[in-house]
Structure 1
């Protein structure tokens, strides 16, 4: 039983990297099976088709994204709000640096979503959840008196868009001060605007 679980995990890891590096169209089940060290017929024990593997991997990635979009701000206070927001962005930047394949494969799913409503619907749900998580965080900051309620939705969406675009720039290999950019974005949204 353990061998099957290890093979299943290896198929997913290999597909993740190969789909990211070569794309869905240029990666075959035969290529994945060969890299895993199993025969092509053996891969059908785990997945009936390449489409099924692509969909399964997408579901797993979506679960990880949704889990990552859940912020723990239960210990957030007026005095540590900025630190908490900085930590959220820094963690995201570090995670993207450590997984060079994530943005590549996510872009593959974006392309797939442009042709397949099922993928588009799920991506839009993820995006809505992502924006909501930042809005909820800012709403909580208002609730504890850490910030005023002025433009919190806009500020929350701005931060969500900044961190998302940081990931896109990282994908291109641009050598920018991403943590400095995130810090400036935080300082900008926390700065109270005169009425």
Structure 2
């Protein structure tokens, strides 16, 4: 029982910090404000986290919870299904970008603060690498079922899909008038000439 209460308090701290960072930015989202939001004292916060930076790292980790995009492709056995799943994956990722303005604000803070906080930059790089690896795994599955040619470079294509999705996150955040779904579809049709 105590463990779940402890986990619950920790999660409340993360969620309060998330909201405050989205509203005020990392620098102005003080530990005192987090305490006020959660209704606990500073020593209580430091029981769960060593520093405000550690809270920020926990936020990033929560935001990038393992997505394992490749799992939905494991049972795909034909080219048509692979192609459909690939289009749907992109549309799903893009829909997630549109869902939450707070998320965009926090992601902008992560980008900004990762230039100053090495641990944040390292965690972000690690999570980005996991996403590239997930795309690579999907494309390798495409090669296995004959959807992509034998000499198709899954590594470079996975990096291209990651860059495309990261850029789309930015265009959504900036509220630019771009049809991200159409761009994803166009890219898939050209980058991944499914045979």
1:106-145 CA-to-partner distances (Å, cap 9, x unmatched) read 3322333222333222222222222222122112211111
What TM-score, normalized to structure 1? 0.82
1:23 to 22, 25, 28: 25
What TM-score, normalized to structure 2? 0.82
What is the correspondence of 1:133-172 to structure 2 with a 5 Å cutoff?
133-148=134-149, 149-172=151-174
Give the deviation of 1:160 after TM superposition: 1.9
CA RMSD of aligned residues (A): 2.5
Q: Indicate the residue corresponding to 1:121 in structure 2.
A: 122
Aligned in 2, Cα 1:80/1:136: closer, same or farther, shift over 3 Å?
Answer: same
Q: Indicate the residue corresponding to 1:102 in structure 2.
A: 103
What is the correspondence of 1:81-92 to structure 2 with a 5 Å cutoff?
81-92=82-93
CA contact (8 A) 2:79 2:142 kept: yes
Tell me, in whole angstroms, the C-alpha distance in 2 between the residues paired with 1:59 and 1:89.
22
Tell me, in whole angstroms, the C-alpha distance in 2 between the residues paired with 1:24 and 1:169.
22
Aligned in 2, Cα 1:134/1:98: closer, same or farther, shift over 3 Å?
Answer: same
Tell me, in whole angstroms, the C-alpha distance in 2 between the residues paired with 1:103 and 1:136.
27
Tell me, in whole angstroms, the C-alpha distance in 1 between the residues paired with 2:158 and 2:10.
39
Aligned in 2, Cα 1:60/1:152: closer, same or farther, shift over 3 Å?
Answer: closer
1:51-100 CA-to-partner distances (Å, cap 9, x unmatched) read 332233233334x1xx1144221122212122111111111112222232
Q: Which runs of 5+ in 1 are unaligned?
A: none
Q: Which runs of 5+ in 2 are unaligned?
A: none
Corresponding residue SS for 1:24 = coil
Q: Indicate the residue corresponding to 2:62 in structure 1.
A: 60
Tell me, in whole angstroms, the C-alpha distance in 1 between the residues paired with 2:5 and 2:141.
47
CA contact (8 A) 2:69 2:135 kept: no
Tell me, in whole angstroms, the C-alpha distance in 2 between the residues paired with 1:141 and 1:59.
29
